[in-house]
Each structure stands twice: as structure tokens, then as C-alpha cells.
Structure 1
């Protein structure tokens, strides 16, 4: 699977652990995130992840910032992107199962690194249920 990841200064350690986990599972990871805790602007790292989804260069995306909100808002501006903010694995499960999300947003300041890896694992291994949810997903896009 091809996965794009982006993070701001709140998430370099999270990204490192997640990338290590993904690569151990045989996934190809494109890293757009910062490796520093020096302050940066999360949109600079979010837009490339969203572009990879929109252009079909990645199957899934992962974005990380302090609250997970700003970076999720940024990627959700892109066509074909459905990002969900997930702070526990159960939310990640439902985000995939019911919303067919293709980007998971992780709040680094409100999860631990082991939780973040668990969220990513749940997100990537959960299939979209379809059915009545497909009609709802179709209504998300304004395009």
C-alpha cells in the first residue's frame, strides 16, 4: 500500500514511530513532514498529502498536528479527500467503516505514540462497509 504522511512540529516523534511501523508491514511511505520541533505551518505539510490522494499517488494519508483539527481542515479542502480526526482506535474504525475516510488525522497532544500507531493500524485494516453509508459518502462532496 502507498501511504503519504505529513506532520508539523507537534508530531515528528509520532511520524517516526508510524513510518517505522508501516515500513515493517511492507507499505511504501512518502514523508512530507518535518523532523524538527521548531515551529512550522501545518498547511505546508498537509497539502502535499492531500494532493497525493487527489492525484491517486497514495492509497491513504496520515496527518499529524497538535490538536489534529487544523491539519484535518486543511486536507479536507481538497477534492476526493475525506479526513477524519481520530484520537482513539474506535473512532478510526468508524471513520473507515462508515465514512470511507482516506486520510486519518491524529492529535499528537492528545494521544500517546502507541495509541497513534494503533489508530493507524485500525484505520488501514478496516474496510468501508458501503450500503447505506455509500449514499451518505456520495453526499459529502459539493463537486
Structure 2
């Protein structure tokens, strides 16, 4: 599994902690930035990393901004991305089991480092349940297709 990492300045510190944790777990990643705590715009980094998932260059992503809200909204604009903002372990588990989330969004200014690592571990290890949930994922994809088709007209 190869993970796309992205953050803005508000998520930079936690992203570095997550990078070290992924190294400990032996999980490969690509860091799409940002690379400092200098103020930047989270949509720029969410887009780069989400596109890598959409193109199959990476398998999943972990995106971090101050609250996780903005970067998850930006990521979810990319077709095929299902970004889930998780502040606890249960949400991380269910985002994988029921929603097959391919992006985990975290708030670097709202959760502690150890909780973030536990959320990441759970999210990485939890499989998608499929079944009735697959039907719902297909319906989400159909919504995306509808609006993409409308924009092309």
C-alpha cells in the first residue's frame, strides 16, 4: 500500500508525526506537501494528493489541515475520492467498513498525536465490508458522474 500525504501549515506538524509512524509500520508514502509551517492554501495540496489516488499512483491518502474540514471538502471535489474526517477510532473504522473511504482527513490542531496514530492504524487496517455498502458507493459514483456530465454540456 502506498499512501498520499498532504497538509497545509496547520497540519504540517502532525503530518510529520504521521510520516514517522508510517515509517515505523513499514508503509510507503508520497509527501505532496506542504513542507513548512509557512501559510499556504490547503486546496492546492489536497488536489495534488487526491489526483495521485484518482490516477492510481497511490492507493489511499491521509490529508491534514488545522481542523481537517477544509482539506476534506477540497479532496471530495475530486472524482472518486471519498474523504472522511475522523476525530475518533470508531469513525475511522466505520469510514473504511461502510464507506470504503480512500482518504483519511485529520485535524492537526484538534486531536492529539497518540490519538491520531491510533486513528491512522485503525483506518489502515480496517477492510471494506462490501455487500450492501457497495451499492451505496456506486450511488455516490453515479452522483459524481451526473454532475461531471452536466458540467461538460
Give your verdict on TM over 0.5. Answer: yes
- Counterparts in 2 of 1:45-84, with a 5 A limit? 45-84=45-84
**Which consecutive segments of 4 or more residues in structure 1 shift more than 6 A?**
none
TM-score, normalised with respect to structure 1:
0.96
The corresponding residue for 2:41 is 41
- Whether the 8 Å contact between 2:6 and 2:33 is mirrored in structure 1 is yes
- Superposition CA RMSD, Å: 0.9
Shift of 1:111: 0.4
Paired residues in the alignment total 143
| 1:21-47 Cα shifts (integer Å, max 9, x gaps) | 112222111001223222110011111
What is the rounded CA distance, in whole Å, between the counterparts of 2:34 and 2:80 in structure 1? Answer: 25
Which ranges in structure 1 are unaligned for 5 or more consecutive residues?
none
The corresponding residue for 2:125 is 125
The corresponding residue for 2:20 is 20
The corresponding residue for 2:106 is 106
TM-score, normalised with respect to structure 2:
0.90
Which ranges in structure 2 are unaligned for 5 or more consecutive residues?
146-153
